[in-house]
């Protein structure tokens, strides 16, 4: 078994760690008997553990992938504490995926039609331009012009010039 610990290797490793001046004395170091007891305890702990089944390994791998995924919804589904929450997140994720596939395929289908004919109907009719235009924004009132003799004289000159 690759998980078994070699007591001699542990002793060597321990020796390599105390090469400085504060090294432990021989009486303070772990003796071979204690080392063997530690190794036996570690081996017993390993024996009590049953190896993970293929299903458990696959489930753990999928959960780990889901928790680290950047796809929206999947981390919520992987981190859900109950089966109900997992099912709800699965349904939400499935509906969003179905909506995306529908919208994407519809857009792609419209694009691949390569429509080139454009029909444009404008509901505008030509109107006759009026020959006379009435302007309601005249800043001068005729009644006020007649009160000022200079403006009334100017109006008379305009009428007599032939254009008025």
* Domain residue ranges of the chain, discontinuous segments joined by +: 7-48, 54-112
**What DSSP letter does each residue of 72-85 carry, written as one string?**
TTHHHHHH-SSHHH
pTM over 0.75: no
Phi/psi of residue 11, each to 5°?
-65, -45
Task: Name the residue among 35, 41, 45 with its Cα closest to residue 6.
Answer: 35
Q: Give the H or E element holding residue 47.
A: helix 32-48
Q: Identify the band that residue 8 occupies on the pLDDT scale cut at 50, 70 and 90.
A: low
Spatial separation of the C-alpha atoms in residues 1 and 39, rounded to whole Å: 13
Q: Are 7 and 35 in contact (CB under 8 A)?
A: yes
| Percentage helix, strand, coil for the chain under 3-state DSSP, each rounded to 5 | 60, 0, 40
Q: 12-40, pLDDT tens digit by residue?
A: 555 555 554 444 455 446 688 888 888 88
- Assigned token pair, 81: 């504490």
Question: And the tokens for 55?
Answer: 């299903």
pLDDT of residue 1: 44
**Phi (first) and psi of residue 49, to 5 degrees:** -75, 125
């Amino acid at each position: 078994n690759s998980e078994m610990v070699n007591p001699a290797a542990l002793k060597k490793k321990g020796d390599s760690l105390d090469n400085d001046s504060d090294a432990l004395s021989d009486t303070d170091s772990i003796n071979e008997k204690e080392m063997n007891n530690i190794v036996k305890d570690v081996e017993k702990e390993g024996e009590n553990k049953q190896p993970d089944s293929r299903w458990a390994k696959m489930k753990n791998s999928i959960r780990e992938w889901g928790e680290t995924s950047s796809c929206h919804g999947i981390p919520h589904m992987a981190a859900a504490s109950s089966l109900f929450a997992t099912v709800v997140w699965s349904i939400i994720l499935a509906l969003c995926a179905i909506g995306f596939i529908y919208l994407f395929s519809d857009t792609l289908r419209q694009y691949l039609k390569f429509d080139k004919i454009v029909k444009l109907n404008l509901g505008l009719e030509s109107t006759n331009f009026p020959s006379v235009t009435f302007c309601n924004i005249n800043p001068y009132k005729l009644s006020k012009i007649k009160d000022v003799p200079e403006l009334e004289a100017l109006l008379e000159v305009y009428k007599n010039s032939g254009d008025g």
